[in-house]
């Protein structure tokens, strides 16, 4: 074993120890800065929370104090005192109802009403409403009992009639403080105050003496509890109907760490209905003077934690950088010594690399020349193949014309015979001095000549060699041209051709001459398949399917066999007798469709016969040149 192998393990151990020490010192520096930044952030949040809580408490006190004098005003009204002494005076009761109605409208309260000493509502501001309080028994309500006991009070609850939450202000009625004849009740709503709090992003809530949230700028938190209620308390609240049978689910309040008696770090569980509040909070609370309520302001700790975390990362990075610089300074001297020794080896390696690069460059140049030659040969081969395909397409056209020659000759023989007969008749009519009859024969001869010109013109256009350039083509014209070319053969076979054009102006992006050849091949195959049929019929349909223009050709023949369906578009496969076809028609048609960006599909129709569908790109999908 060499001395070098003995020296490596101790050096590796030292490096690992230094790396662990470096990470430890960096982590300690980051943790210390994180703790300091978090404490400073919490202190700032506490100061801001105290200020916000002062504002919220002042706004709540102002909102309640606006209505504090109303029960005393009702108690001072002479007609109200008189009504309690004469409860059966209907006219007086009507006047007091109107008075309370006007008072409630002007003050902006939810309702104002008077309860007699038996707990019955005698008059109310909502006496006109179907759900009026008049006549209700409220002797069980805590605010009524508290008023009889203490002469007045304040109470928050939910109404038993309309289920509307509100703040109840009460004052006793009677000639003397010791002689109570009834209770004046003013119910006010705090919705306007909650609306003013709603613009505040941080949560704020007010809980009553039972720990139930009665006010909050988060509507989903209202009437939840800070802590779960025991069964006895729930039963007592149900009997008093203070919350009108609300479920009172726990808010999911979890105290992480208490900072003092009124401040703590808390977390809200999302499953407890606090899905809109995420992350830990700093909770600050205080009792509200004059009420059994307690206000709590929540400040999100997420910005504090994020700032502390970012500062911790910066501190850790700076600590690591300082330590790394010290290590680099230590390594610099050793590196300088090793650098001189490595320069010679590097120069030798560089020379060897340059020689390899020169050799590889030469090899790459030769390979590039070979590749260019191969690409040129492939381009030439593709051009040759394309030319051969064009010649094959043209040969297919001529083959079709050859197949039609007999039918075309038959179609032309009849007009020629008729022309000869009409010419002879016209000569005799002229000799007899009957120019009108001669003129009629000449007109018929012109019509026969036009018909012959139409037949030969269609054959001439079909036989013309296509340029292969796509353009906007109306499918109706392509179908019409194909039928015109095959008209003699269709007439010879007595086939019925049905053509359905769902959109007469449907246009496709294609080469009209080549698409016409595909249709002639499909129609010719359809006629061949129905040679033994007594009533041959061909159905042609043109329609738009999504971004495709489709032409379908269906015959009423025996359909495709399994073997034919499996080898439908293979070259040199045919089901015709020997000598009647090479089996290239469908293969060339499929190639023409693919070259034009479309496709040709074939199969058996569910109702019998074979059907072929040619799909071509819509003209509207192509850019205008």
Q: What pLDDT score does 454 carry?
A: 60
Please tell me which residue, 229 or 95, carries the higher pLDDT value: 95
Orientation angle between helical segments 302-431 and 512-529, nearest 10 degrees: 70
Angle CA 416–422–423, to nearest 5: 90
Q: Which two tokens stand for residue 393?
A: 């397409």
What band does 404 get if pLDDT is binned at 50, 70 and 90?
A: low
**Range with the largest mean pLDDT of 134-143, 390-399, 600-609:** 600-609
> Does 417 have pLDDT greater than 70?
no
**Alpha carbon distance 450, 457 (integer Å):** 10
246-263 pLDDT, tens digit each: 777 777 777 888 888 888
| Strands 280-287 and 537-545, sheet pairing | unpaired
> Does 568 have pLDDT greater than 50?
yes
> Does 553 have pLDDT greater than 90?
yes
User: What is this structure's pTM?
Assistant: 0.41
Name which of 47-61, 66-80, 427-441 the model is least confident about.
Answer: 427-441
361-371 pLDDT, tens digit each: 888 878 878 77
Chain CA centroid to CA 535, Å: 55
Identify the residue whose tokens are 């320069």.
Answer: 343
Q: How far is CA 372 from CA 357, 359, 365, 377, in A?
A: 22, 20, 11, 9
Report the run of H or E that residue 201 belongs to, with start and end: none
Mean pLDDT of the 89-104 span? 87
**Range with the largest mean pLDDT of 12-16, 386-390, 544-548:** 544-548
**Alpha carbon distance 232, 65 (integer Å):** 34
278-316 pLDDT, tens digit each: 568 888 888 877 777 788 888 877 877 777 778 778 877
Which backbone phi and psi does 208 adopt, to 5 degrees?
-95, -170
Report the run of H or E that residue 254 belongs to, with start and end: strand 253-260
Which backbone phi and psi does 296 adopt, to 5 degrees?
-130, 135
**Alpha carbon distance 401, 458 (integer Å):** 11
> Does 85 have pLDDT greater than 70?
yes
Look at residue 168 and tell me if it is in a domain.
Answer: yes
Look at residue 234 and tell me if it is in a domain.
Answer: no
**Alpha carbon distance 139, 142 (integer Å):** 8
Helix, strand, or coil (residue 77): coil
Q: What pLDDT score does 360 carry?
A: 84
Please tell me which residue, 581 or 232, carries the higher pLDDT value: 232
Look at residue 242 and tell me if it is in a domain.
Answer: no
> Does 274 have pLDDT greater than 50?
no
What band does 390 get if pLDDT is binned at 50, 70 and 90?
A: low
What does the DSSP assignment read for 263-296? Answer: EEEEEE-GGGT-TT--SEEEEEEEEPTTSS-EEE
Residue 542 near residue 612 (C-beta atoms within 8 A):
no
Q: What pLDDT score does 4 carry?
A: 42
Please tell me which residue, 481 or 411, carries the higher pLDDT value: 481
**Alpha carbon distance 385, 393 (integer Å):** 12
Mean pLDDT of the 519-527 span? 87
Name which of 368-372, 404-408, 545-549, 589-593 the model is least confident about.
Answer: 404-408
Please tell me which residue, 433 or 135, carries the higher pLDDT value: 135
**611 pairs with which residues across the strands?**
554, 603
3-state helix, strand, coil in the chain (%, to 5): 55, 20, 25
**Residue closest to 404 by CA, chosen among 261, 527, 572, 515:** 527
Helix, strand, or coil (residue 621): helix
**Alpha carbon distance 512, 500 (integer Å):** 19
Look at residue 400 and tell me if it is in a domain.
Answer: no
155, 189, 223: which is the final residue of a domain? 189
Q: What pLDDT score does 275 carry?
A: 44
Give the count of domains, the chain: 2
Mean pLDDT of the 601-605 span? 90
**153 pairs with which residues across the strands?**
170
Look at residue 372 and tell me if it is in a domain.
Answer: no
Q: What pLDDT score does 383 carry?
A: 65
Q: List CB contacts of 244: < 8 A, sequence separation 6 or more.
A: 157, 158, 159, 160, 163
Q: List CB contacts of 37: < 8 A, sequence separation 6 or more.
A: 304, 307, 308, 311, 312
What band does 540 get if pLDDT is binned at 50, 70 and 90?
A: very high
Look at residue 26 and tell me if it is in a domain.
Answer: no
Query: How many C-beta atoms surround the C-beta of residue 496 within 10 A?
Result: 12
Please tell me which residue, 512 or 606, carries the higher pLDDT value: 606
Alpha helices in 130-175 (DSSP H): 142-150
Q: What pLDDT score does 272 carry?
A: 47
**Residue closest to 470 by CA, chosen among 510, 508, 506:** 510
Q: What pLDDT score does 615 carry?
A: 92
**Alpha carbon distance 502, 506 (integer Å):** 8
172, 189, 206: which is the final residue of a domain? 189
115-132 pLDDT, tens digit each: 888 888 888 888 888 888
In CATH, what number is assigned to the domain containing residue 488?
3.30.565.10
Q: What pLDDT score does 537 carry?
A: 93
> Does 13 have pLDDT greater than 90?
no
**Alpha carbon distance 206, 597 (integer Å):** 72
Look at residue 381 and tell me if it is in a domain.
Answer: no
Identify the residue whose tokens are 């609850």.
Answer: 157
Alpha helices in 118-190 (DSSP H): 142-150
Identify the residue whose tokens are 């801001």.
Answer: 48
What band does 388 get if pLDDT is binned at 50, 70 and 90?
A: low
**Alpha carbon distance 316, 462 (integer Å):** 83
Mean pLDDT of the 395-413 span? 57
Structural domain that includes position 150: 70-189
Helix, strand, or coil (residue 538): strand
Angle CA 221–223–226, to nearest 5: 75
Identify the residue whose tokens are 């449907």.
Answer: 506
In CATH, what number is assigned to the domain containing residue 83?
3.30.450.20
Mean pLDDT of the 545-573 span? 85
Which backbone phi and psi does 118 adopt, to 5 degrees?
-100, 0
Look at residue 366 and tell me if it is in a domain.
Answer: no
Name which of 107-111, 194-198, 367-371 the model is least confident about.
Answer: 194-198
150, 166, 189: which is the final residue of a domain? 189
Q: If you average pLDDT over every residue of the chain, what do you get? A: 77
């Amino acid at each position: 074993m060499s001395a070098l192998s003995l020296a490596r393990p101790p050096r590796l151990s030292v490096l690992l120890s230094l790396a662990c020490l470096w990470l430890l010192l960096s982590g300690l520096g980051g943790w210390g800065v994180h703790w300091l930044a978090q404490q400073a952030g919490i202190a700032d949040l506490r100061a801001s929370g105290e200020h916000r809580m002062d504002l919220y408490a002042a706004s709540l006190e102002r909102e309640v104090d606006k209505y504090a004098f109303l029960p005393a005003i009702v108690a001072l009204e002479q007609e109200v005192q008189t009504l309690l002494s004469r409860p059966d005076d209907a006219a007086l009761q009507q006047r007091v109802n109107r008075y309370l109605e006007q008072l409630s409208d002007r003050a902006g309260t939810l309702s104002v009403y008077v309860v007699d000493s038996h707990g019955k509502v005698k008059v109310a501001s909502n006496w006109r409403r179907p759900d009026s309080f008049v006549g209700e028994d409220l002797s069980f309500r805590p605010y009524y009992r508290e008023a009889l006991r203490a002469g007045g009070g304040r109470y928050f609850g939910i109404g038993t009639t309309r289920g509307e939450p509100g703040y109840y202000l009460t004052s006793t009625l009677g000639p003397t403080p010791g002689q109570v004849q009834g209770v004046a009740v003013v119910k006010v709503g705090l919705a306007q105050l909650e609306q003013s709090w709603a613009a505040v992003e941080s949560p704020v809530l007010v809980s009553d003496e039972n720990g139930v949230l009665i006010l909050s700028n988060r509507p989903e938190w209202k009437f939840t509890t800070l802590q779960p209620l025991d069964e006895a308390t729930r039963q007592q609240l149900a009997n008093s109907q203070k919350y009108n049978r609300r479920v009172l689910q726990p808010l999911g309040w979890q105290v992480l760490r208490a900072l003092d008696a009124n401040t703590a770090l808390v977390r809200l569980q999302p499953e407890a209905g606090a899905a809109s509040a995420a992350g830990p909070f700093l909770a600050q609370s205080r009792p509200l003077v004059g009420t059994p309520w307690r206000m709590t302001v929540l400040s999100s700790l997420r910005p504090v934690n994020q700032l502390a975390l970012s500062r911790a990362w910066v501190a850790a990075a700076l600590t690591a950088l300082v330590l790394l610089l010290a290590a680099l300074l230590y390594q610099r001297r050793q590196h300088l010594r090793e650098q001189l020794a490595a320069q010679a080896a590097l120069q030798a390696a560089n020379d060897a690399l340059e020689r390899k690069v020169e050799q590889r460059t030469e090899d790459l140049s030769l390979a590039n020349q070979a590749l260019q030659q191969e690409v040129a040969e492939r381009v030439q081969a593709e051009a040759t193949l394309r030319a051969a395909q064009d010649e094959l397409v043209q040969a297919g056209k001529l083959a079709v014309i050859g197949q039609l020659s007999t039918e075309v000759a038959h179609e032309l023989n009849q007009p020629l015979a008729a022309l000869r007969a009409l010419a002879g008749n016209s000569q005799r009519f002229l000799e007899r001095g009957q120019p009108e009859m001669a003129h009629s024969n000449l007109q018929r001869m012109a019509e026969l000549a036009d018909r012959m010109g139409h037949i030969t013109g269609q054959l001439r256009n079909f036989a013309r060699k296509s340029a292969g350039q796509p353009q906007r083509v109306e499918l109706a014209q392509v179908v019409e041209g194909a039928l015109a070319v095959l008209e003699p053969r269709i007439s010879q076979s007595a086939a019925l051709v049905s053509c359905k054009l769902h959109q007469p102006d449907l246009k496709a992006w294609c080469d009209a001459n080549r698409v016409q050849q595909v249709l002639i091949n499909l129609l010719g195959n359809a006629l061949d398949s129905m040679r033994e049929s007594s009533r041959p019929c061909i159905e042609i349909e043109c329609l738009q399917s999504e971004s495709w223009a489709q032409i379908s050709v269906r015959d009423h023949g025996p359909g495709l066999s399994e073997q034919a369906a499996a080898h439908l578009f293979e070259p040199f496969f045919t089901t015709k007798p020997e000598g009647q076809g090479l089996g290239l028609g469908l293969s060339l048609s499929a190639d023409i469709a693919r070259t034009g960006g479309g496709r040709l599909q074939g199969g058996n129709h569910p109702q019998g016969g074979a059907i072929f569908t040619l799909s071509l790109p819509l003209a509207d999908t192509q850019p205008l040149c």
